[in-house]
Chain A
Amino acid sequence: MPFIPHTRDDVSAMLQSIGVSNVEELFSEIPSSIDRADLSAVPRGVTEMEMLRVLSERAKKDEVGPCFIGAGSYDHHIPAAVWDLASRGEFLTPYTPYQAEASQGTLQVLYEFQTMMSSLTAMDVANASVYDGGSGLAEAILMAVRCNRRNQSKKILICGAVNPFYIQAANTLVRGQGIELVQGDLSNGTYAIDLSEGEEVCAVVVQQPNFFGLLEDVDEICDWARTKNAMVVAVVNPMTLAVLKPPGEWGAEGADICSGDGQPLGVPMSSGGPSFGFLCTKLQHVRQLPGRIVGRTTDRAGSLGYTLTLQAREQHIRRAKATSNICTNQGLLVTAATIYMSIVGLRGLGNVASTCHSNTKYLVDKLCKSGLVKKTFVEPFFHECALDLSCDAQIVCDMLLRQEKILAGYALGRSFPEFQSSLLICATERRTQAEMDRFSETLLNACMSLARGQ
């Protein structure tokens, strides 16, 4: 019996102790009017060996060549030690650390994580994660609505090109509370502040670098939002913060809430999940921060130790008045990210960020030099760039995948119909010069053959 240790003798001794003659009697309180389950659609059980045979055949089917897609999920190198450590049973198989004395390992990891994220974003505090970048944006928006006492509007202004997948998810998750997301106008790929925009908004959301890889004028947007009594929600890729100005330093006062997806920090792409979302804020808003927070304290012997804190914000204490319904979060991925940030460290993360950018720039320059493609928007970009191929970008993607097994990029037309011929590309630190050159050559060939009408 898979995973069940009972011998026949165990079962009879246990039934005897209980005082029943068979297991079925233990279910006697289930009314007989309810039909018994029929599991005929579930296959018969197989051994681990057989299961692995089936699943590795499927996994192999999905292996493809070098990845030049970003759009919210990035193909970074992960040091071998990261998942060796995170896969230790002691990190992999505990529950949420409610019993602090039996969970000091996980709790200290979370405290170190909070420190790293607060510092990367230049905010005061971080929580112990939410589900992903999309749910992170939703929680940040809900939090802004709770925090902004000076402005009761339930409208949120999306400034510029925020990840459309985050917007979609946030729309689902905040709609129940009557909150409305309004897209601000784009000018050349970024948000141009519309001074005539008279409408009251509770918060503005701005992503840096934005979905197209462009750098938004975050200082100006932040300061402008202050004049409107609107909170500023920053959406960032944490890896880029090793070199880009952090949200806490945007404008005169910094952003109020910062969210994003932690996947670039040691988490495999894994079809988009599991990854983790993070939320950071200023100390004054900490009681509106959703999710777990770890605090350092002392034990009865006076030693430093860690425990979950400010739990009166959470559903298991506050019930209908909680800041969020979140319970289980993405703890294991946070453990991996903390180990990742420790191993690559200060110098490593900076180099990963700068190499990702210079690789992408190398590729973009090479492609543009051909004269066949051009940048969709004006610079500056960081780490990702949209290219106008002058032909249907999705068709080019399909060609490269079929011919060379190359993941060419994200065809922007899938999210923005007005950019049907644009391809969003990205070359992480993993991409070699040979891969980039081959990509450039096959991409240009594909564009040429399409232009010839083949």
Chain B
Amino acid sequence: MDNNQTIFDISRPNRFAGAQIPEMGSLSDIPLHFLRDSSPCLPEVSEIQAIRHYTNLSHQNFAIDRNFYPLGSCTMKYNPRGAHRAANQPGFLNRHPLTSVETSQGVLQCLFELQEILTNVTGMDAVSLAPMAGAQGELAGLLMIRAYHESQGEAHRDEIIVPTAAHGTNPATATMSGYKVAETKVGADGDVDLEHLKQVVGPQTAGIMLTNPSTCAVFERQIVEISKLVHDAGGLLYYDGANLNAILGKVCPGDMGFDVLHLNLHKTFATPHGGGGPGAGPVAVNGRLVPFLPIPIVGQRNNQFEWFGSDEIPNSIGTMSAFMGNTGILIRALSYALMLGREGMIRVAEYATLNANYLAKELEKAGFKLAYPDRKATHEFLITLSDETAKFGIRAMDFAKRLLDFDIHAPTTYFPLLVPECFLIEPTETESKEQLDAFVHAMSTMRMEAQTNPRQLLDAPHHQYRKRLDEVKAARELDLTWQPKSKKTAQTK
């Protein structure tokens, strides 16, 4: 059903879901000037009206559970339902964050084990699970780098280097942590331009943020040289864990020379993305940054699991949220890790890489242009549709929208910016060969349409709940909240 109504359109005065309404309490002791005299705009609907409304809305979403989602850099793999079940047990769900450790040994043991597993797979010395998502992990990482330099009497280091192709969060995080951003170029083969980096690195360098495999979807082959270059200048190496799925169980960031990193558990450790979160962005560090880890951390003392806070880690950068991160997500990540085990973890990188290389090769055979044809694909790869744009006037965005009609979510488009009209394609290890073949078929069909019937692409999508949406209008004529019709008319006047 698509009747275009909001929950507010359905609402009628004095209707309510009777089974959900507790008795009214008395507010007689509260002085009137503290009380509200206007009524908030909240729905007045029956329970089944609410259920139908939101069930129908759910039908208007693409989701892993319904669609292939080859969204580069986002690692949209299957989210095991068992992990969801594990985290949803009453003992975990109903635990108040300030409950004493005595009655929290179950959850603390889970978090402790996850710390141990993540320490091992990253090849680092210690982990804090505190950051709420990848971007907050990045912030924690840079604040630790800052604290480290300050402790060394090198507070003058005020610059973070990021490659031009880096995720937007990297430069945004550098700014948020009070650093200046210096960009380093990427060479024609997708690796960092080492000569340029040599010019950028200096006594002002606090560190460099890198993703490996890089955002160009290739393994940065000069990582050992980069590590030496930056370390020799006194800077530290930050690893953006967005692409960890590509190397899980094969090589560790710690062994590549990185000093600090974050993991995106909603990517590599298969926790559901929820239409925009929650995620979890644990940070892992080597020895020199351990004293600065964000708190709390789970430790062991007298055969009991305990929270380690500012008493145990006095130089910590501090807490990242009111309580202990996104614990429910951390339990899901542990559940996933326990089911995979060490042999399963190695297979993650192997099959993710196999799928990406197979898909890249099949697309190349079908006539699509790889951005880096001489390089191996990692867990993802880039194609450029610039030939199609030049020949048929069809842009990557048109391909992306048309792909939705094949029930396939579009890959990441126009990122990284240095590759024109690009698709960043990440199939993940949980997709079957048949699904990959169906993707190639859809892409070839679209290429055919581009030649014979370009409107099919230019007007796409055709079979979704909406045609292409007017984003310019959305930004120019801001409509960010529902208003009753009478009020809206008054406003436009």
Instruction: Please encode chain A, from 282 to 305, with 1 for each CB lying within 8 Å of some chain B CB and 0 for all others.
Output: 010010000011111111110111
Contacts A37-B121, A303-B467: A315 and B61 contacting too (C-beta < 8 A)? no
A413 contacts partner chain B, Cβ-Cβ < 8 Å = no
Cα distance A7–B283 in the bound complex, in angstroms: 36
- Given the known interface contacts A71-B98, A169-B320, A271-B92, the answer about A307 and B17 at a Cβ–Cβ threshold of 8 Å is no
Which B295-340 residues have a C-beta within 8 angstroms of A? 317-329, 331, 334-335, 337-340
Contacts of B93 in A (CB 8 A): 268-270
Cross-chain contact A348 with B321 (CB below 8 angstroms): no
Q: Is the CB of A305 within 8 A of B63?
A: no
Known: A59-B90, A171-B318. 16 other contacts (CB 8 A): A3-B78, A35-B252, A83-B88, A85-B55, A88-B55, A102-B464, A103-B60, A104-B57, A108-B60, A125-B481, A243-B27, A245-B34, A270-B327, A303-B467, A330-B277, A357-B25
Q: What A residues does B470 contact at CB under 8 A?
A: 297-300
In the complex the two chains form, is B168's CB within 8 Å of A95's CB?
A: no
| B435 CB, nearest partner CB in chain A, Å | 8
**Chain A residues within 8 Å of B471, by CB:** 100, 297, 307, 309
B188 contacts A by Cβ under 8 Å: no
Pairs A–B under 8 Å by Cβ, sample size 29: A3-B80, A3-B270, A4-B347, A6-B351, A18-B354, A29-B376, A30-B219, A40-B342, A41-B119, A42-B120, A46-B341, A51-B335, A55-B331, A62-B103, A69-B96, A69-B99, A92-B84, A95-B273, A99-B410, A102-B404, A269-B94, A272-B324, A273-B132, A274-B329, A345-B44, A348-B16, A349-B40, A397-B100, A429-B22
Given A55-B86, A71-B98, A101-B401, A245–B339 Cβ distance below 8 Å?
A: no
Q: Once the chains bind, are B480 and A320 in contact (CB under 8 Å)? A: no
CA A210 – CA B148 in complex, angstroms?
36
Check if B31 sits within 8 Å of A380, measured CB to CB: yes
In the complex, which residues of chain A have a beta carbon less than 8 angstroms from the beta carbon of B34? 215, 244-245, 380, 382
Q: Are A355 and B275 in contact (CB under 8 A)?
A: no
Give the chain B neighbours of A93 by CB distance below 8 A: 63-65, 79, 272-274
Q: Are A177 and B17 in contact (CB-based, < 8 A)?
A: no
B177 CB, nearest partner CB in chain A, Å: 4
Which residues of B have CB within 8 Å of A304? Answer: 4
Whether A131 pairs with B20 at a CB distance below 8 angstroms is no
- Using A73-B96, A246-B40 as known contacts, say yes or no to A37 and B123 having CB atoms under 8 A apart: yes
A31 within 8 A of B: yes
Given the interface pairs A6-B433, A105-B61, A361-B29, the reply to whether A309 lies near B98 with Cβ below 8 Å is no
Q: B175 near A322 (CB under 8 angstroms)?
A: yes
**For the complex, is B238 an interface residue (Cβ under 8 Å from A)?**
no
Which residues from B are CB-within-8-Å of A13?
433
Q: Report A385-441 residues with CB < 8 Å from chain B CB.
A: 397-398, 401-402, 405, 407, 410, 429
CB closest chain-B residue, reference A309: B474
Given A33-B224, A272-B324, are A115 and B77 also a contact pair (CB < 8 Å)? no
Q: Which residues of A contact B340 (CB under 8 A)?
A: 2-3, 45
Please determine whether A380 and B30 come into contact, CB atoms closer than 8 angstroms.
Answer: yes
Question: Which one, B106, B169, B375, B474, contacts A62 given CB within 8 A?
Answer: B106
Q: Mark B142-176, 1 if CB is under 8 A from A, else 0.
A: 11001000000000000000000001110111111
**B259 contacts the other chain (CB 8 A):** no
Contact A34–B345 (Cβ < 8 Å): no
As a 0/1 sequence over residues 271 to 290 of chain B, the CB contacts with chain A under 8 angstroms (1 = contact) are 01111111100000000000
Closest to A209 in B: B34
Contacting pair A17 B361 (CB below 8 A) = yes
Q: Are B43 and A346 in contact (CB under 8 A)?
A: yes
The CA-CA distance from A48 to B277 in the complex, in Å, is 24
- Check if B272 sits within 8 Å of A92, measured CB to CB: yes
A residues within 8 A CB of B117? 41-42
Question: In the complex the two chains form, what is the Cα distance from A282 to B352 in whole Å?
Answer: 46
Chain B, range 408-463, C-beta contacts under 8 Å to A: 409-410, 415, 429-433, 459, 461
